[in-house]
Amino acid sequence: MAEIIQEEKGGGKKRAKKVVPHMDMTPMVDLMCLLITFFMLTTAFSKPKIMEIVLPEKLKDPNQQAPKISASRTLNILLGPDDKVYTYPGSVKPEDYNNLPPLNVADFSSGPSGIRYMLLERNRALFKKINDFNQQVIRGEIVISQDSLRGAISKLKSDDDTGPIVLIKAYKTANYGNFVDILDEMNICGIARYTFVDIAWYEEKMVEFASGISSSTATATSTN
Amino acid sequence: MAKVKMPKKAPHIDMTPMVDTFCVVLTFLMLTATMRQPEPASVDTPFSISEKPTPDFNAMTFLISTDDKIFLNFDNGPDTLLAFRPKVLQEMGRRYNIEFTDQELREFQKYPSSMGVPMQHMKTFLGTNDPNERKALQVGIPIDSTDNQLANWIVAIRTVNPNVQTCIRADAMTGFPIVKKTLDILQDRNVNRFNLVTSLEATKINLEEIQQ
């Protein structure tokens, strides 16, 4: 491509040219185009986001008791294998260990079979309150700064005493994506009180029974 | 009226303004670029609606791969002069009776991405420049109860930098038990607040539709 044309005028007396020397910028433009393309492709424009979660402190003192919560408001969510979620309300009493309550199956879709449908159903009062509040802010009926907006919503949440208290537990074959998904659902549905706790042995049994896997195969897959 | 004389040469476009523009764009891109650092394991983070950006400094990030290996990355603090990384490595060296040279500490300070090297191989790792050899040494930080190096790292980082935040970056397909184990180790060291690294995904829900 590059060509150097040397003009040679035989014998003639050399005269200084009056024309301003002109530089061809096209190769430079080509090069810059390449560099820009390279930078645009390697730059990570969208920074990854973070989702905050606070887990309850571990009880190190054996005499310490876990806080008591009312069984009527409790909703247990068990993350099962194959992206399935199992739920049951209340708690299981020791005398029911031989006769475990059945589990409801849900998934992470947004349709009627999804966990979101069920959570919104139970959390409707609070969700509606938060939603109305947000709408009022958008319409300009309430003037509030962005910082106090978050505070106001968390106040709405802490004042709430109708929504469920969700206990999230993970079966051993669940994956990390399920865990993030369920915490995400908590944020979407505006659940005021939720926490992540260890799964109990009878709950593992309930998941195994509901998903139709025997406990021996489950151990085999979890060690893989 | 004088007759306009057409030049015989081919018309010439002056590229100088274009070069100027490109220069500006290029400078902008070079200055704003945050290069993607090559990570020892590729991880596809799950999606969430959270819009909070990851902290730029004062963060320790646990990278958990799909094959249950744990890698750790932490920064030098809000100012690179604080040089938290070499201090943490020295602290770790004290616990494992390894003396690190200045050269090794410098190498550790500027290492840009996550590390999953057991302390026994740390000297070899910092001494070599061969990417293949380095890759072979990245076997994940040991978390067995007999040799829980991850716990020591957590303690060392938190001693050097008390303001550190905990970020967990795992693949959506990572099995939950290893994540749970990491959380347990962190909670045993009184870390109860976690940031899960996710990608943003907008979700909208229609209340009327749900009520129906």
CA-to-CA distance for A135 and A142, rounded, in angstroms? Answer: 9
pLDDT higher than threshold 90 for residue B71 = yes
**pLDDT mean over B152-159:** 91
What was the pLDDT predicted at B48?
87
Above 70 in pLDDT, residue B35? no
pLDDT at A127: 82
The answer to whether the Cβ–Cβ distance between A49 and B46 falls below 8 Å is no
As a whole number of angstroms, the distance between CA A207 and CA A25 comes to 70
Residue-level pLDDT at B62:
92
Contact A26/B at CB under 8 A: yes
Chain A hits for B48, CB-CB cut-off 8 Å, are 49, 51, 180, 183-184, 187
B81 touches chain A (CB under 8 A): no
Quickly count: other Cβ atoms within 10 Å of residue A130's Cβ: 19
Mean pLDDT, rounded, for A57-70: 74
Per-residue pLDDT, B205? 62
Q: Tell which of B9, B14, B15 to mutate to test the A interface (max A CBs under 10 Å).
A: B15
More confident residue, A2 or B100: B100
pLDDT in the model for residue B211: 52
Categorize the per-residue pLDDT at A172 as very low, low, confident or very high, splitting at 50, 70 and 90.
confident
CB B64 within 8 A of CB B171: yes
**Residue A55: what pLDDT?**
85
Cβ–Cβ pairs < 8 A, chains A and B? 170
Please state the rounded mean pLDDT for residues B155-174.
90
- A131 pLDDT band, cuts 50/70/90, is confident
State the burial class of residue A156 (Cβ atoms within 10 Å of its Cβ: 0-12, 13-18, 19+): middle
The single-letter DSSP state of residue B175 is B
How close A46 gets to chain B, by Cα (Å)?
Answer: 9
Chain B contact set for A55 (CB, 8 A): 183, 187, 192-194
Neighbours of A140 (CB within 10 A): 7
Neighbour tally for A83: CB within 10 Å: 14
Copy the structure tokens of residue A78: 């068990």
| CA dist., res. A211 & res. A207, Å (int) | 6
* Segment A85-115, tens digit of pLDDT: 888 888 887 777 777 777 888 888 777 788 8
Please compute the mean of the pLDDT values over residues A53-78 and round it to a whole number. Answer: 79
Q: What is the C-alpha to C-alpha distance for residues A173 and A5, in angstroms, rounded to an integer? A: 73
- The answer to whether the CB of A196 falls within 8 A of the CB of A148 is no
* Chain B residues with CB-CB distance to A56 below 8 A: 192
pLDDT, greater one: B62 or A47: B62
B109: exposed, middle or buried (Cβ count in 10 Å: 0-12, 13-18, 19+): middle
| Residue that wins the pLDDT comparison between A104 and B210 | A104
Q: How confident is the model at residue B24 (pLDDT cuts 50, 70, 90)?
A: very high
Nearest-Å Rg of the Cα atoms of chain B is: 25
| B57 against A68, higher pLDDT | B57
Rg value, chain A, Cα: 32
Alpha helices (H) along chain B: 16-32, 84-96, 102-110, 122-127, 131-137, 149-160, 176-188, 207-211
Neighbours of A188 (CB within 10 A): 18
pLDDT at A220 over 50: no
Token duo for residue A210: 């509901």
Beta bridge partners of A196: A168
**Maximum alpha-carbon separation in chain B:** 100
Paired tokens of B130: 């061969």
Q: What is the pLDDT of residue B72?
A: 92
- Range with the poorest average pLDDT among A51-55, A58-62, B17-21, B55-59: A58-62
Closest CA to A108 of A74, A76, A79: A79
Burial class (CB in 10 A: 0-12, 13-18, 19+), B34: exposed
d(CA B115, CA B80): 19
Does pLDDT of A5 surpass 60?
A: no
Residues of A in contact with B12 (CB under 8 A): 22
pLDDT at A223: 43
- With CB atoms and an 8 Å threshold, state whether B46 touches A176: yes
A50: chain B residues, CB-CB within 8 Å? 50, 52-55, 167, 195-198
Instruction: Kindly report the average pLDDT of chain A as a whole number.
Output: 78
Residue B138 has pLDDT above 50, yes or no: yes
pTM for this prediction:
0.77
Phi, psi of A74 (to 5 degrees): -80, 135
- Mean pLDDT for the stretch of residues A169-175: 88
Counting residues of chain A whose pLDDT is more than 90, the rounded percentage is: 1
Query: Between helices A215-223 and A201-211, what is the axis angle to 10°?
Result: 100
Q: Is residue B146 classed as helix, strand or coil in its secondary structure? A: coil
Q: Is A27 left (phi over 0), alpha (psi -120 to 50) or beta?
A: alpha
The per-residue pLDDT for range A25-63, each reduced to its tens digit, is 888 889 989 998 988 887 766 678 888 888 888 777 777
Mean pLDDT score of chain B, rounded to an integer? Answer: 85
Instruction: For residues B73 and B61, give the distance between their C-alpha atoms in angstroms, rounded to a whole number.
Output: 5
**Separation of alpha carbons B80 and B32, rounded Å:** 18
Give residue B156's pLDDT band: very low, low, confident or very high (50, 70, 90): very high
